[in-house]
Every structure is written in structure tokens, then in C-alpha cells.
Chains A and B, each alone.
Chain A
Amino acid sequence: MTVHRYIPNSDPEVKKELLDEIGVKDPEELFAAIPERIRFHGPLDLPHGMSEHEVRRLIEGLLSKNVKPDEMLSFLGAGCWPHYVPAVCDEISSRSEFLTAYTGDAYSDLGRYQALFEFQSMIGELVAMDAVTVPTYDWATASGDAVRMAAIASGRREILVARSTSPDKLSVMRNYCGRLAEIMPVDYDHQSGQLSLEDLKEKMSPNTAAVYIENPTYFGFIENQGERISNIAHDNGSLLIVGVEPLSLGLLTPPGEYGADIVCGEGQPLGLHMSFGGASLGFIACRDEEPLLSATGHRLVTISTTECRGEWGFTYVLPERSMYAAREKAPSITGTGAALCAITAAVYLSLLGPNGIRELAETIMQRSNYAMKRLSEIRGIKAPLFNSTHFEEFTVNFGGRKTIRNINQALIKHGIQGGKDLSKEFPELGNTALYCVTEIHTKEDIDRLAAALKEVLK
């Protein structure tokens, strides 16, 4: 082995110095604890190492097979949304002091604690809740944690979930719930898409821990009945959990104001690139009450003071709840989460400010509503399928002639990626796709989509 550029002590002279000091000749002696009967004597079936230049060529070569939005106009959302990421977000998220740190105390990692507290504070303002946790992996896992919290805090075993929720999310919720609670779908009104209050009332029972709704829903429209759902849940002693897309809260009433007890959502729209669905954060907020906070295993950064007047300090609240301390008694899993994404989201929200987020939400809503109008002018298209107010995503129904798969294949020939095919997830919607339009889509882009669809459906 030649001296490796990442391994300073691979230099034979240094290595010998270390081995002499340890008192062994052959480094393999140090592996003597691994019994011979299970020892691997290699070599590993891997290629030879590469120079930096070779690795760059290899990976750039592979990545060149991907097609990105400036090469293809895309209307995909469904849990990962295309938004503009300001250069400042990338600047801060690539600061190696944040990027390469892990888990020091606030004495050495003050920056992380303060940025996380600021993240928690800004999410708290968006959703109107006083308590926010250090975030987890993504919205789906945050919803899993939220329903666990509700089951543990209430001691009840059934979670009623709006059936307009993405089936993938239901699957994650079920994997998170174990034997703790059962996930039971509540129907939606087939005209408006709004939660069926009749079905909700029918399914409420003394064992209902919580009702989970989303706003905007997976289908993209605003659920108007927040307060009524909240009343129905609370009258039954159940909790209300609301899942949110955060930018919509520039315009929409925060769930904390219509009775939510727990709020969760996806932080990817807050300055994080899509990265094939790989850069996300799931935030969780709740009422600032100990029984609820005790039912989450996630870290909670509180602001504090220090011995020196005028200094902010930070520490963790109720650290004994977390899996690190409580092991099998912990209410949920916790571990390496999404801190760098949270720091980036704090940067993004600081840039947006109260006016920016309102204007951004308005632009998104105008553009998506324009897209719905344009598409619904095309013969054979119904957009949206539900007669409710939509934010940035909407359902597009293509009637019976062509499948979404066929339509999307044809759109690719026009350099357009169509919306997500919903026909398998929600067969009752027929040939329906979920389209997403944000601030990055211009009028011209939308007109281009309309023209291409007209052509494809001819």
C-alpha cells in the first residue's frame, strides 16, 4: 500500500513508530480479537482505488445520464417540490464547521444549538405552536412520530387518517406504529375532496387517539374544515394532528389557530434542493405541555442563559426521554436526524421574512391556479378534479382514452415531465395525475405544457 492521501499515518515510517510504541510488529496482531474461524482473509472483491480525477470523471459521467429541469420542464411535486434555492442557503449549508460537526455541547457547538433554536422558533411562528422539536428525517417519518406521540399521550390505540393522504405516508405510519396503534382511513367527499365529517363521526370511538389531516392535502387543495374537525376530535377526547406544507402558511391559517395539538410537515421547500428526494427534514411541533413533549423521543433545544450576563446558552429539555437514554422505554426512535437541513431552513426563513413568505405563497397560488385554468380549457381534461381551493398542486383527470403512463411518455417527447400518476394509489380517481406548479414555473412554461397536452391528446 502506498501512502494514502486521506490517511496520514499510512506513511510506513510513522506507522512503524506507532507500532513500536504499541509493541507489535505486525498490525494484524491488533485484530487477534476476531476469532480465526470467522476471520476474512480477503482481498475484498472491490476495484482498485482511484485518483481524484478518475473519481470525478466516473461520477460526472454517471450523473450526466440524469436529466434536470433546465433540460426538461417538470411538473412533479407529491412530497418533493421544485423551488428556487437562494445561493445564501448553499453558502451556509456548505460551511464545513456545520457540515463536518456532529454532536458537541453548546460550548464548542454554540452555532448549531442557536441555529436549531432559531429553526424551532420560526417553525413555531409558521404553525402557531410554542413547542417544536429538533427535526427528523422527512414528513413521512415525522407523521409516524406524530401518531406515536398521540397514541402514547392519550393511551388510545386508533388513529383516524384522512384517506386523501399519500399511501406511502400511511405505510411509513404503519411501520412506525408497530403494535402501538392502528391506522384507520377516513373517507373524503368525492366532489370537494374535503374530509367526510359523517365518516369521521362514524369512526370516532373511545379508542380514537387522534385524527390526522393534511393542509393542503396530498391532492393539493385546502382543507376548509380544520376547526370543525378539531371540535369533533376534541369532543371525543382525541387529539388533532395536522400535516402541512410550510410555504402555504404564508397565506393559510396556522393549524395552531384551528385547534391542532400536534403539527408535522416537510421542510424540503425551505431552501433544500430536491436531490432525488434525498434532502429533506420532517418537523414536529406541539402544544408546550409536558405530557405531549414526554411522548416524543426527539431532541428539544431550549434557550437558556449562562453565568455571564447577557449571554444566551442552550441545552436539551428532558434528555432522559430519548432513545439514547431510555433505550426500549423511549417513545420513538431518535438518532442522527436532519440538523444541517434545519440550519439551512433557518437561513431560508430568515431570508424570506414575513413579507417574502406571503408573496411567495401568493405567486405559487396564482401560477398553479393559472395552470388549472389553462389545462381545464383543453378538451378531455378536468383540472382540478375536486371543487375546492388549491394551493400549488392539483389533480388533472384525463378521462378514459389514454393512461397517465401513455400521456407522460408522450410528454417526454416534448421535453416535459408530466405530473405523478395517481391511478394506482387512488383507482377511484381514474386516469388522474397530480401536477405541481410553483414560483419557478413561468406563464410561458405553463402555456407550453398546455400546448403539449393539447397535441398529445389529439
Chain B
Amino acid sequence: MTGYRAVTWNEPLVYQLGRKGRRGSAIPAAEEQLKVKVGDVLSKIPEAMRRREPANLPELSEPEVVRHFIRLSQQNFGVDSGIIIGQGTCTMKYNPKINEALARSPKLTEVHPLQDSSTVQGILEIMYRLGKLLCAISGMDEFSLQPRGGAHAVLTNARIIRAYHELNGELEQRNEIVTTVLSHPCNGGSPAVAGFKVITLYPDPETGIPNVEALKAAVSKHTAGMTITDPYDTGIFDPCIDEYVKIIHEAGGLVAIDQANANSLFGRLRIGDVGADLCHFNLHKSFSTPHGSHGPGSAPIGVRRHLSKFLPVPTVEFDGKKYRLNYDRPHSIGKVSGFFGVIPAVLRAYAWIMTMGAEGLHETSEVAVINNNYLLGRLLKVRGVALPWIKSHPRRLQEARFSLQQMKEETGVGIDDVNRRIVDFGIQKCFTSHEPWIVPEPFTPEPPESTPKEDLDTFAEVLRQISQEAYTNPEIVKEAPHNCAISRIDQSPSRDSKKWALTWRAYLKKHK
């Protein structure tokens, strides 16, 4: 239907390419005079610490390396490749090329993080300005750019919640964090890594959101805070969010609101106005920085004034003349990663906000939400597709979580099959759901603002065709893929330590 033919190279592993003696690098040799002066440095390495055998790396010439990795890239599917709107919760929007060009400037790439601040005023200014822009967008008071992904941001926020209660002498007592099951899993996972006991609220079957009474019952003198995603990955905005904040505050806790789904909120809601004490944005989602095949992302955290002193060090500060990194913050939680964050992403996000401006951000959310509701209407016409909680929430914000349960029951074809089939059409698979699957046989498309109407129609049309296949000739779907670089994968190494091999050396030991 789309006329797509997958690129199929049957490319060997890099270890199966090249031959002994080939090389893809020329290493600068030390000058003769220098060598004479230092003598045989290798003999200084104590015997036991001298590598006996050269590392078993592949031996390829430069053209072979280039061809190998170009072929691998051709068998990968990004935003630039085609329709990727099935991958909800990820906000797979267009990553502007100008931002790539700017992020590759040697004036950024060749700069060392510990250089004297007088030599890095430009990048410090960009960091400082991005922090201010994020404050304006969120209504928060101060941002740290150090966290490198969403889960890392929630961990950082959980550490700040700890530090806050510790300073108040209540840490021993306040050891519980409340979250909701439809929040991103890191809202439960990261606070647990930070040492909290986690209480998870489930949604009311009728409304898809937790019951306020359930939250009231969950809070106590042990409550340290709440970590919650709003809007949810179901595309439902939890309208009780300010009530939760009130309940948690009255119990003496803090609230961190995960803004991973902020793409629908620009200019409509500032999370600070809800009363959030902490929040985070994913620059690789709402702010257009590329996902890089699963990182590096970037997830700045925002806090209200009363928590500023706990932010990770260093912070970027400006005295009216010069920018500097400030490490002298006695209440800081310290460091959560090596330097200052994923700075190339910081630069790209700054460029994106400056490109869009206030009107552009407003338009971003408007069109993202229009796209989603248009697609929602089209998908509901596909046989076997249902939208849980449709009565309470017939419209959704940035994305929607559908269920193929009916199709599964009627045809035996479920979401895993559909996901193997949809890629035959040159459309990236759908995100299902984080676990637990509250919605059975789930899929979660999110068509961000950069999606043309034509793509929305193609996506809906392909799902309609797959549904038709499921109801008339389900084997086509179950045996998929038919038009991909590889056939169905043997999943058994996933759970069998005798079979799995995480490295080529392990594979050779186990399988040869």
C-alpha cells in the first residue's frame, strides 16, 4: 500500500569483516627527539599490568568501516526516515537541521568543561538563558540542566526531596513517596533508587485517573512527597492535580510533576501554577532535540524558590557582567553526573525555543493536540480498536492509549503481531505501554505538530488494512514481518543464560 521496500543488506557483524593486518587508523607517532628523551616508557609498566595479548578488535580499512556502519544506518528508522507517530510518549517530532549544524560547531564540540570561565562565556550564557526560558514556560523559579534523561531527572528530584526533609530533621519519618501507576515508571522507580518506599495509586476504572480519596488514604506522617506524570501517557490530563498538590502539601510533602508530555501544554498550563515544587522537561521530547537511537537525551529539572538551594552543583550564575559556575552551595545535593549535562542538547533546545518564540510554542501544542484528536477519530473507525475511558475522556491531549483487546479476542491478532506487521509498510512500530498493562493489548500513538495530515491518513489507513488482514487472513499478520531486513527473531536467548551472548567473545564460547 505504501510501496515500501526495506533495505536489506544481510550485513555481517563487524567481527566477520576485514582481515588480519588491515587498519582504519593512522596514529601520530611521537617525535624522535621526544622518544630519545623519555626512553622506553613501556618498560616502566609493571610486568603484571602489561597487556599480554592485543585487544581482539576487528581489523578493517577505513572504507570497510564506513560501508559497514552506513549499511547499519540504512537499516534503522528515525523521524527523518518516515512515519514514526506510533511511538507515543516519545514525542517524535522533527529535529531541525539548523540545530544540528549549530551543535556541531567546533566552538562547542572542542570546548573542555573545566576551562577558565573567561573562555567559555558563550556556552555559559546559553545555559543560563535556557534556564530562564524554561522558567518562563513552566512558571518554576530555577532550573538545573545536569540530569541526562527523564529517569535521571526524577532521581535528582527525589534526592532533593530527601535533602529537604533531612534538613528539616524529618527524613527518618518521611520515607514514602506516592505515585500513580499511569505515571511513567521512573516516577516509581527513581524514588525507590533514592531510598524511598513507593506507594502506587491505581486509576478508577471509570475515569482513568486515581481517586482523590485514595490519595488521602495513602498520605500520612510518613509521606515525603509525590512523583506524578501529568498529562498521562493515556493523553488524559489529570484535573485533580492541584488537589493532589494541596493534599501532599498539607501532609508536609513535596510534589514533583513529570512534564515528559509537555508538548500539549505550551501556553495552556504552567506546571508551577499548579503548585508543583519540582518538575522536569525532556528536551529530547517536547523541545525537539534528537533521540539519538535512545540517548543522549536531556532532562532539566525545575524547582520553586524554596528548593533552589538543594539543586546539583554547579549552577550557572550571572552577576550582570560575567557568567560563572557556582560550586559554593552548601545545601546542594552534590553531583548527579560527571559535568554539567548534555550540553549539545541544551544548545539545540535553546535554538528551538528561540526559533519558535511564544507564538510558535503556542502553535506547537495547538497542532499537536489537533493532530492527535484527528487521528483518534480515524483510528476509532478501525475494526477491533477501542479507546479505554472514552466516556469520561472522549478527547485527549498529545497522545492516546488504545486497546486491541477486541481484535485479539476475535482474531487472535494482538498488538505484538500488529507491531511486526506495521513495519512492513515502512511505518515505525507503535509504543505499547509501560508495565503493568492496565490497558490490555495497548498501543499509544502520538502525532506531534511536525506530522503532516497526509501521514496521519496513511497511518490510519495502514492500521485499517492490518485490521482487515486480521479479520480475513490473520496468518499474514501473525507471521509478519514479510518486508523487513530480517525475519522473526528467536526470542529464546532473552531468558536463557546458556544461549544469551552480550558480546562476540561470549557468543564464541557458548555457540561454537
Contacts and interface: CB of A to CB of B under 8 A. Distances in A.
B221 interface: no
B78 A8 contact: no
Interface stretch (B188-196, B212-220, B402-410): B188-196
Contacts of A129: 503
A427 interface: no
Contacts of A369: 38, 41, 44
A202 interface: no
Interface string A300-333: 1111111110111111111100011111111011
Contact of A114 (B11, B51, B94, B106): B11
Contact of A46 (B105, B137, B264, B488): B137
A354 B393 contact: no
A46 B132 CA distance: 10
A74 interface: yes
B342 interface: yes
Interface residues of B, number: 215
A226 B282 CA distance: 41
A253 B338 contact: no
B110 A274 contact: yes
A180 interface: yes
B401 to A, nearest CB: 15
Contacts of B191: 328
Contacts of A90: 104
A124 B504 CA distance: 8
A171 B506 CA distance: 34
B155 A175 contact: yes
A34 B239 contact: yes
B41 A365 contact: yes
B491 A315 contact: yes
B357 interface: yes
B69 A92 contact: yes
A189 interface: no
Interface string A25-42: 001001111110111101
Contacts of A337: 149, 294-296
Given A98-B293, A328-B192, A337-B149, A353 B51 contact: no
Interface in A241-271: 249-254, 258, 266
Contacts of A96: 78-81
B108 A280 contact: no
Given A66-B108, A249-B51, A351 B25 contact: yes
A94 B97 CA distance: 11
B45 interface: yes
Interface string A375-393: 0000000000000010000
- Most central of A17, A312, A335 by chain B CB within 10 Å: A335
Given A46-B353, A300-B502, A325-B435, A106 B486 contact: yes
A332 B73 CA distance: 30
A49 B370 contact: no
B115 A417 contact: yes
B320 interface: no
A33 B362 CA distance: 17
A336 B91 CA distance: 13
Contacts of B108: 63, 66, 275-276
A106 B489 contact: yes
B38 A59 contact: no
B57 A10 contact: no
Contacts of B266: 44
B274 A38 contact: yes
A88 B195 CA distance: 43
Contact of A9 (B274, B367, B481): B367
A75 B192 CA distance: 40
A307 B486 CA distance: 9
A313 B485 CA distance: 10
Interface residues of A, number: 209
B114 A131 contact: no
B132 to A, nearest CB: 9
A334 interface: yes
A147 interface: no
Interface in B347-369: 347, 350-351, 353-364, 366-367, 369
A139 B148 CA distance: 13
Contact of A302 (B27, B74, B269, B501): B501
Contacts of A224: 46, 48-49
Contacts, number: 729
B195 A178 contact: yes
A279 to B, nearest CB: 6
B38 A110 contact: no
B31 A27 contact: no
A258 to B, nearest CB: 7
Given A43-B358, A121-B505, A327-B188, A88 B66 contact: yes
Contacts of B139: 40
Interface in B238-292: 239, 241-242, 264-270, 273-274, 282, 284, 288, 290-292
Contacts of A59: 102, 126, 347, 350-351, 354
Contacts of B357: 46-50
Interface in A105-153: 105-112, 114-115, 117-118, 120-126, 129-134, 137-141, 148
Interface stretch (A79-87, A154-162, A205-213, A394-402): A79-87
A22 B38 contact: no
Nearest to A320: B435
Interface in B465-512: 481, 484-495, 497, 499-507, 509
B453 A14 contact: yes
Nearest to A356: B25
Nearest to B120: A66
B90 interface: yes
A5 B189 CA distance: 39
Contacts of A30: 369-370, 373, 395, 397
A217 interface: no
Interface string B167-184: 000000000000000000
A369 B507 CA distance: 39
Given A1-B363, A15-B367, A96-B78, A141 B453 contact: no
Given A6-B288, A7-B449, A366-B41, 13 more contacts: A6-B94, A30-B395, A45-B358, A48-B359, A80-B114, A88-B65, A104-B429, A125-B55, A125-B57, A138-B337, A168-B338, A176-B155, A412-B119
10 contacts: A15-B370, A46-B136, A63-B123, A68-B106, A82-B110, A125-B55, A278-B342, A338-B148, A369-B38, A443-B34
4 A-B pairs closest in CB distance: A277-B339, A278-B343, A178-B195, A49-B357
